[in-house]
Structure 1
Amino acid sequence: MAVRLGALVAAPLLLALTVGWLLRPEAHLTVSNSRTGEIYHRVEVREGSTVRLSWTHSIEKTPWVEVYEVSGGRFLLREARVKSFGAGVDQIAPEVRNADGWVILSGTGRSFPELRFFHSRGVDRELALDGRVLDLGEVPQYAPVSVEIRSGSWIVSLPDGLMGGE
């Protein structure tokens, strides 16, 4: 009788713990088409993760690297690295230094709810999360891309096919 009563108490408790685990909120770095909503990447992200966005400047033809820290569901700009000053370079930064041929701008304290760009294969664009490069090969040429932090449960982040989607 005591064993049966223990099982009756343990089963609902185990079920509640499992459901709670499946529905716990998680943050994901989501790379999507800002016009159509098509998702190219959805990767778990943690507070303090590093996001690096780099490309070749279309006019100057020099590399540009921006490094962000995930903070409170936003992208906090830690530094921007450029090889030369030209069109589009924010020349006002509290900290500016030179290192290994780079001009490094930091200390702006600027944060963004999302990062946006038009994808072009001609500018060697690269997006990395904690050093892991995310393949942008399936992003159509000139597509408007949005990179943002979205929160949701583990079950929501399952691929659409597993949840009965198309």
Structure 2
Amino acid sequence: MFDALPDRLRGRTVRRTATALVATLLVVTAASVVPVGQQLVVADQRTGETVIATPVHENSTVALNYTHSVQKTPVLDQYTVRDGGFVYTRMEFQSYGWGLPSRSEVHEVNGTLVLDDPDWRGAEIHVKPGRVADHELVVDGHTFDLVNRSNARAVTLRVTDRSLLDATLDAI
């Protein structure tokens, strides 16, 4: 391509091309490390592979909807993103059964048992999505089929920094 150019132009063109390439690499590298917010990352516990990554912010709502395996009734576990982690804020269920709170202060709302402000905070949530339970992840009103996304394998949910590059790619 450059063979038809005189030597002085060929050298200048190669230098400009190399400079532009280096500048582009520097911009992309900087964008990949500059944090511009947070994201919820759902990762396969065995492989570490990210199965879901979605933007979140302080006070985002993260919920797990599933069917109780014994009672066959719906359960909602709701968390709020706070300080780079999770605060368990609400549980809703329709009947008592294995793994559901039986000694906590629960009140009834339209036939649903509600536990407000369970006493739990953490950096990670570990979930084993099940085909019978049909786990769904709801982040700020956006629903993800957790069973299909994870192939029913155990996952870990965590909040991480979101880079400028991630935000830019999401916007495209």
TM-score interval, normalised by the smaller of the two chains: 0.7 to 0.9
- In structure 1, distance between residues paired with 2:47 and 2:31: 32
For 2:69, the equivalent position in structure 1 comes to 58
Question: Which one of the candidate residues 111, 117, 120 is aligned to 1:101?
Answer: 111
Distance change (3 Å), C-alpha of 1:37 and 1:20: closer
SS of alignment partner, residue 80 of structure 2: strand
Question: Which one of the candidate residues 117, 123, 135 is aligned to 1:113?
Answer: 123
Q: TM-score, normalised by structure 2?
A: 0.72
Alpha-carbon shift at residue 40 of structure 1 (Å): 0.8
Alpha-carbon shift at residue 91 of structure 1 (Å): 2.8
Alpha-carbon shift at residue 60 of structure 1 (Å): 1.3
CA contact (8 A) 2:52 2:149 kept: no
Structure label with greater radius of gyration: 2
Q: TM-score, normalised by structure 1?
A: 0.75
Alpha-carbon shift at residue 81 of structure 1 (Å): 0.5
CA contact (8 A) 2:69 2:133 kept: yes
Distance change (3 Å), C-alpha of 1:37 and 1:157: farther
Distance change (3 Å), C-alpha of 1:82 and 1:23: same
Distance change (3 Å), C-alpha of 1:132 and 1:155: same
Query: What is the identity, as a one-letter code, of the residue corresponding to 1:50?
Result: T
Q: Which segment drifts farther, 150-159 or 27-36?
A: 150-159
Taking only aligned residues, the RMSD between alpha carbons, in angstroms, comes to 2.5
Distance change (3 Å), C-alpha of 1:68 and 1:120: same
For 1:26, the equivalent position in structure 2 comes to 37
| 1:72 aligned onto 2:86 | no
Distance change (3 Å), C-alpha of 1:20 and 1:150: closer
| 1:140 aligned onto 2:151 | yes
CA contact (8 A) 2:31 2:163 kept: no
User: How many aligned positions are there?
Assistant: 141
Alpha-carbon shift at residue 151 of structure 1 (Å): 1.7
User: Structure 1: which 5+ residue stretches go unaligned?
Assistant: 1-14, 160-166
Query: What is the identity, as a one-letter code, of the residue corresponding to 1:100?
Result: N
| 1:88 aligned onto 2:99 | yes
Identity among equivalent positions (%) equals 29
Distance change (3 Å), C-alpha of 1:152 and 1:132: closer
